[in-house]
Structure 1
Amino acid sequence: MTFSDVSENVRRRRATVNLSRSLGCHRTTYNRRWNKMRAALMKKYHFLSFIEFANESTLKGYTEVNLCSQKFVNRKELMNDFMMYLMSNTSLSIRDADRVLYGLRFLIPDISKSIRGVLKTCPSVQPKFIGSEVYYHLGLKTNLLRYVELWLCTTDFESLKLYVNVDGLSMSRSSNQQLWPTLGRIIAPRLSDVFMIGIYGGNSKPAEFNEFSADTISEIKEMTDVGLFSVKFNECIAITLAAVICDAPARSSVRHTVNHNGKAGCDRCIVVGRRLEGKTTFLNGVYTLRTDDTFRRQTQSIHHQGHSIMETLSIDMILTFPLDPMHMVYLGVTKKLANLWIDLARRRLRNFNSCAIRDINNLISGCVASTPFDFPRKCRTLDFVSAWKASECRLFLLYLGPVILEKTLPFYLNFRRLALSMYLLAHPKLHKTVVETAKIDLLNFLVTLFNCDRLYTV
């Protein structure tokens, strides 16, 4: 064996050790995972065998390789596609991906040193100052183009649908600093990861959303009008904005309407609320629904606070902004019901006392050990209902409550109406076929709940 053969073997062994360390596993486990992933990747993308690919003598006879329906790339682009596949199908972090590239450089010296070069991330973004706050626009087109070119390797498609989310979060409890990220996600023809479009930072929420979202809306308008063109594959993909997902406060700010607790705060109909005991109350009934035309013409002037930049897009200003169940049902209705039960037990009404609350708490505690890891949180007892998160409210309403409340809750059937309706509406396959049935059950739930003096005598 010559010295060059020994050095080549040492280089390959060192690359294997570095890769196994970066992935956090033993070298034997790494080899098994690598062989499995390599076989799946080669089968999916019709690559050359790894021996042919890594053998320098073979590579001299290949200036380009056949990849993805006779689209030719050199070996550097081939490895870049492999790293893109690795980042999209595993939970590999940026740091670990850089370590993987470091190990692969022993085999292919001309590949990128950092995964940022493979992902083609922008090294610097110019800030946009809005008053005393700042906004960084990372770009929507670059994110979409990355997924489009990756997916075109394996399948042909002519259009994609996009979700956009706008929401805010506090940096800490001891300061007023806030971040308002604009996020995107492709939902068709495949489901992509959530990616960042832009981010706004300041000591308060954006005072002018039209200026804050101007860059994003400009990109969306351009791509919905002319499409997204891929130079690499010489194809134009049609872009559709399927939904803008926001909670109630952000939705009113983005659309320049009054808040959800305002006099004309309903997003779906023209009902006018009344102040009762310090709260805005919307009376139950049948009212005229809002449409895209009436929204743009602002027929109900007290509902609007100006014109939104979203109106420049070819979207339905009503249906494109779905109502979120997290605030409306899980945090709103479920928490209110739980507080009513606690008040009912405290006042010893309807044969409901502290013993019933203790029994419910014991049943909830007994369910903690058997709750699968599919749920992000375990449900805490009713003693901590004021601190319940939305995921806990959802777990209790859809799964735990219908089982543990059957023998302890007065008027249990009314709670079951809500639980069953929300479960069916949240079902990915059944939600379109049960709309009318769920609507009737929810109306019956509200009618019964509004008669609080008859239901709970509180």
Structure 2
Amino acid sequence: MENAKPGFERALKRRAEKISSEKSRLVAAASKVQRWVQELRRNEREEFINEERSFSSHLESEIQSDSGSANSAEFDPLTSGESEQLNPQISSENSFDNIESHHSSSTSGGYSHLPESQFSGINMPDQSFKKDGSNGNMDEAGIFHDEDDKVKYLLESLRKWGSSGVPMRKIDELLFYLKPLYPILPSSYKTLFNTPKSIPIKSIGNGKLWYRGIRESLNKILTWKYLHSHQEIIIDINIDGLPLHTSSRTEFWPILGCLAGKYQVPFPITVFCGKGKPENLNMFLNDFVKEAGELMEGGYEYDGRIFPFRIRHYILDAPARAFVKQCKGHTGYAACEKCTVIGEWVEDRVTYAELNCPLRTDESFQRRDQLEHHLHAPGADIDDHDNGEWRTPLEQIGTGMVSQFRLDSFHLVYGGVFKRLVGAWILWPGPWKLNRNAFSEISDKLVSIKSCFPCEFNRPPRNLQEWKLYKGTEWRRLLCYDGMLVFKHRAFNVNIYKQFLLLHCAIFILASPYHVQQNENIEKAEELLEAFIKHCASTYGKRFISYNVHSLKHLGNECREHGALEEFSTFKFENKLKSLKESLRSGHKPLQQLAFRELQRDDRKKILSEPQNDVKLIHKLKNPFEDVPGIQYKKLKYHRITYNTKRKYDSCCRTKSGDIIIIKNIVHSQEGKVILVGNKFLWQDDFYHYPLNSSKLGILKVNRLDGRTLHFDFNDVQSKCVLLPDDDDGFLCIPLLHSF
């Protein structure tokens, strides 16, 4: 026993040392968090003071302008506060017949990401100065005035840190060690995040359902600023399956909502968890349909005021649409949701080669004019219009079962038709199949241009051998941008390349917010898509004309009524599904985990108004040879577009006059304007001529960079461009269509 006692004491000592070490580590982490908070506060202070200084300078300019001579030689709308258009009004003469080529003095290939409004401010984070020596809750040294301020911002920082995927146990440990220093801190993460004690979960059929609600979600994210600018609440709905594990059939089936707008973030309305999809559609949709009907009838109340509420689009993939609408799936004979085509069985699959069948309407769907399109109970008489059919609960709230359901480009075009086309080139035997040399050289070309893509692309090119693992954004990038370059290969069949260009040109038009505003352009895209479908049928046979390929026929009408493809795609909903899955810590009670994580999130700061027209200038630069007086910068950020003068492939832009320019410097002039300094390409030409001249889409081959320096206002920029090196020392220049 005496020998055991020293060993026991040594164990206790080691345990105490370990606890002390862990405590020191956590205290150091807390200090780091506090320093981060102080730095964040200083940055916020600088941005606020910069905005105040900008406003003051504009106000002083107005006063000087008013007190000056009425016969002023020049009027500067940027400094005077008058409205200035950053990009031209869309011309009514911008159809394919009227779009002028690159050498014209008029605007061509308009892909402007600049809104038609004046600057609301120029934020320069690197330019700091003091104002009245005050800094809110901190003094000039960045130190809080009292302990309450420290605790307030420490709590805020802990919530942000805890919402980034940190295990709750670690948060409890940190709170335990910080408690002696800040007794007012909570003892548990549950108090820190205001986590409810229980989650209302009910059993339905083959799983469980958590219903959060539309009102509850909107209450958390809506602000007066958004409501004042929109005056109504319009949301899009997405429903999709999300497998949780590769070795289990457990799935999430969430109903996601998203406020209408380009930069909005989806939110969960209800989530089902079970083995496969919900067996009982009525129970799955019942709560959603009931609340949506109440909101559409009575409106949404916010701070005593009633705002109109409506659902704009249901954006789902094909299997989910068939499930929710209770109609035949994409392998059925009467599967098309937009027309009454009857499929044909060809080589072990149903194909839809007929392209001119009568269109469906909401009324024909409700009347069940084509009974073969709808699901029926087993043993029901298919000729009976009233008995046997399974009706979806969505019809109870007047949902347009044809007009409100969109054809999603994510699954239909990029991950559907285009993936099928590339798969046919690689796997299907025939004269179109890529030989080993062509496959290898295309892969090498993709890898070689990996570093040439702008920062807006989250997924740069990778080897073609991994094509089965490509994501939707990679298929979109390959179809709209680098595909026309890498497939233009001597070993690639010329006719197959032209077939690819038919699809590329049509989708490039429909994905452009500029081109889809003109019906002539949409008609051209429809013509190209119909030619693509017929060319594929003659090349690969009718077996290629699957549900997705046939649905291309209806894509033009979708864009004619609802705008560019990105206006009703599932890209942002797929991103939200990914975040839902990543919020799980284990496989134990996944629905409860997801519900708690969602209730702990602070989504209010993600909304939810359209971004301001602020130009942010970042990282000061000193070039003693610059002729324009002012402060020089390396980077310029505008919305989600970034120009970086230190990286050639992030500094290419197109001006309203049609020049392609590499930006070398960014100057904030003494007059308050943003001046860009760069060199333009002297030679431009079409990159392809079939099925139309590429310059009509703004796609050019450029060369010979001019050595003379060019100065131009940022207001003259039309769009950022993707610049890819070609084999003959030139470059392929493509207007940037999407903000990734």
Classify the TM-score, shorter chain. Answer: 0.7 to 0.9
Evaluate the alpha carbon distance shift between residue 37 and residue 257 of structure 1 in structure 2; reply closer, same or farther with a 3 A threshold: farther
Q: How does 1:69-108 map to 2 (within 5 A)?
A: 93=164
Evaluate the alpha carbon distance shift between residue 453 and residue 251 of structure 1 in structure 2; reply closer, same or farther with a 3 A threshold: closer
**Take 2:426 and 2:226, find their aligned partners in 1: how far apart are those partners?**
58
Kindly provide the amino acid, as one letter, of the partner of residue 349 in structure 2.
Answer: K
Deviation at 1:35, TM superposition (A): 1.7
Kindly provide the amino acid, as one letter, of the partner of residue 256 in structure 1.
Answer: Q
Of 253, 258, 261, 2:328 maps to: 258
Query: In structure 2, the residue corresponding to 1:261 is in which secondary structure?
Result: coil
Query: 1:326 matched to which residue of 2?
Result: 410
Q: How does 1:20-419 map to 2 (within 5 A)?
A: 21-22=32-33, 26=36, 29-36=39-46, 50=136, 93=164, 124-148=198-222, 150-152=223-225, 155-188=228-261, 191-230=263-302, 233-305=303-375, 306-343=390-427, 349=431, 353-408=435-490, 409=492, 410-411=494-495, 412-419=497-504
Evaluate the alpha carbon distance shift between residue 174 and residue 215 of structure 1 in structure 2; reply closer, same or farther with a 3 A threshold: same
Number of residue equivalences: 404
Kindly provide the amino acid, as one letter, of the partner of residue 234 in structure 1.
Answer: G
Query: 1:441 matched to which residue of 2?
Result: 528
Evaluate the alpha carbon distance shift between residue 390 and residue 50 of structure 1 in structure 2; reply closer, same or farther with a 3 A threshold: same
Unaligned segments of structure 2, at least 5 residues: 1-27, 56-119, 121-133, 139-143, 376-389, 542-740
Evaluate the alpha carbon distance shift between residue 126 and residue 333 of structure 1 in structure 2; reply closer, same or farther with a 3 A threshold: same
Unaligned segments of structure 1, at least 5 residues: 1-16, 57-74
Query: In structure 1, the residue corresponding to 2:45 is in which secondary structure?
Result: helix
Evaluate the alpha carbon distance shift between residue 295 and residue 364 of structure 1 in structure 2; reply closer, same or farther with a 3 A threshold: same
Kindly provide the amino acid, as one letter, of the partner of residue 367 in structure 2.
Answer: R
Deviation at 1:439, TM superposition (A): 0.7
Evaluate the alpha carbon distance shift between residue 395 and residue 453 of structure 1 in structure 2; reply closer, same or farther with a 3 A threshold: closer
Evaluate the alpha carbon distance shift between residue 112 and residue 314 of structure 1 in structure 2; reply closer, same or farther with a 3 A threshold: farther
Q: State the Cα deviation string for residues 92-151 of structure 1 (Å, max 9, x = none).
A: 74879x99xx9xx9xx99999999889987653311211231001111101112333x23
TM-score for the superposition, normalised by structure 1 = 0.75
Deviation at 1:183, TM superposition (A): 1.1
Query: In structure 2, the residue corresponding to 1:431 is in which secondary structure?
Result: helix
Deviation at 1:444, TM superposition (A): 0.8
Query: In structure 2, the residue corresponding to 1:380 is in which secondary structure?
Result: coil
**Take 1:137 and 1:255, find their aligned partners in 2: how far apart are those partners?**
21
The question of whether the paired residues in 2 share the 8 Å contact of 1:272 and 1:282 is answered with: yes
Query: In structure 2, the residue corresponding to 1:451 is in which secondary structure?
Result: helix
Query: 2:512 matched to which residue of 1?
Result: 427
The question of whether the paired residues in 1 share the 8 Å contact of 2:206 and 2:278 is answered with: no
**Take 1:226 and 1:374, find their aligned partners in 2: how far apart are those partners?**
42
Q: State the Cα deviation string for residues 181-233 of structure 1 (Å, max 9, x = none).
A: 11111125x84322111111111211122210111111111111110112xx3
**Take 1:275 and 1:161, find their aligned partners in 2: how far apart are those partners?**
42
**Take 1:91 and 1:321, find their aligned partners in 2: how far apart are those partners?**
38
**Take 1:318 and 1:120, find their aligned partners in 2: how far apart are those partners?**
42
Query: 1:4 matched to which residue of 2?
Result: none
TM-score for the superposition, normalised by structure 2 = 0.48
Evaluate the alpha carbon distance shift between residue 316 and residue 116 of structure 1 in structure 2; reply closer, same or farther with a 3 A threshold: farther
Kindly provide the amino acid, as one letter, of the partner of residue 383 in structure 1.
Answer: Q
Evaluate the alpha carbon distance shift between residue 124 and residue 237 of structure 1 in structure 2; reply closer, same or farther with a 3 A threshold: farther
Deviation at 1:331, TM superposition (A): 2.1
Q: State the Cα deviation string for residues 412-439 of structure 1 (Å, max 9, x = none).
A: 2221110121122122343343321211
Deviation at 1:271, TM superposition (A): 0.5
> Identical aligned pairs, as a percentage?
25
Deviation at 1:383, TM superposition (A): 2.1
Deviation at 1:275, TM superposition (A): 0.8
Query: 2:97 matched to which residue of 1?
Result: none
The question of whether the paired residues in 2 share the 8 Å contact of 1:179 and 1:200 is answered with: yes
The question of whether the paired residues in 2 share the 8 Å contact of 1:94 and 1:115 is answered with: no
- C-alpha RMSD of matched pairs (Å): 4.2
Deviation at 1:33, TM superposition (A): 2.1
The question of whether the paired residues in 1 share the 8 Å contact of 2:239 and 2:253 is answered with: yes
**Take 1:248 and 1:35, find their aligned partners in 2: how far apart are those partners?**
49
**Take 2:298 and 2:269, find their aligned partners in 1: how far apart are those partners?**
20
Query: In structure 1, the residue corresponding to 2:235 is in which secondary structure?
Result: strand
**Take 2:370 and 2:251, find their aligned partners in 1: how far apart are those partners?**
32
Q: State the Cα deviation string for residues 138-181 of structure 1 (Å, max 9, x = none).
A: 11101112333x23489454202101111111111111111111
Q: Which structure dedicates a bigger proportion of its chain to helix?
A: 1
Query: In structure 2, the residue corresponding to 1:262 is in which secondary structure?
Result: coil
